[in-house]
Amino acid sequence: GENVEQHPSTLSVQEGDSAVIKCTYSDSASNYFPWYKQELGKRPQLIIDIRSNVGEKKDQRIAVTLNKTAKHFSLHITETQPEDSAVYFCAASISSTGNQFYFGTGTSLTVIP
């Protein structure tokens, strides 16, 4: 089955700096890659996603890039703010197999004011 690896597990940045979280996947059939943000004690919330036919997608300070050849995708957060502090999960999904979602192990991001 699909295996998603996520790095780093923890990340601390100064407010205003950029943060990058990287994920790799194993199954070339994966075609949808969402990113979720989870604040302490709350539900994971979708913040951005990308389909396999797109190389990059941006939404204000957040961007995701996908390299299908290398089977990796990354989340980029620019001009980080304290409210960006949370745990971020990447995931890979294969729509042809019943939409199973395979999650990474999460990255705890701390933005230092």
Partner 1 sequence: DSGVTQTPKHLITATGQRVTLRCSPRSGDLSVYWYQQSLDQGLQFLIQYYNGEERAKGNILERFSAQQFPDLHSELNLSSLELGDSALYFCASSLHKGTFPAVLHFGNGTRLTVT
Binding site for partner 1 (CB under 8 A): 31-32, 34, 36, 41-46, 49, 51, 89, 91, 93, 95, 98-106
CB 21, CB 74: distance < 8 Å? yes
Nearer to partner 1, 52 or 80 (CB): 52
Rounded to a whole number of angstroms, the CA Rg of the chain reads 14
Shortest distance (Å) from residue 102 CB to partner 1: 8
Shortest distance (Å) from residue 100 CB to partner 1: 5
Distance separating alpha carbons of residues 31 and 21, to the nearest angstrom = 19
Nearer to partner 1, 11 or 78 (CB): 11
Nearer to partner 1, 38 or 78 (CB): 38
State the DSSP code for 88.
E
- Cα 15 to chain centroid distance, Å, stands at 20
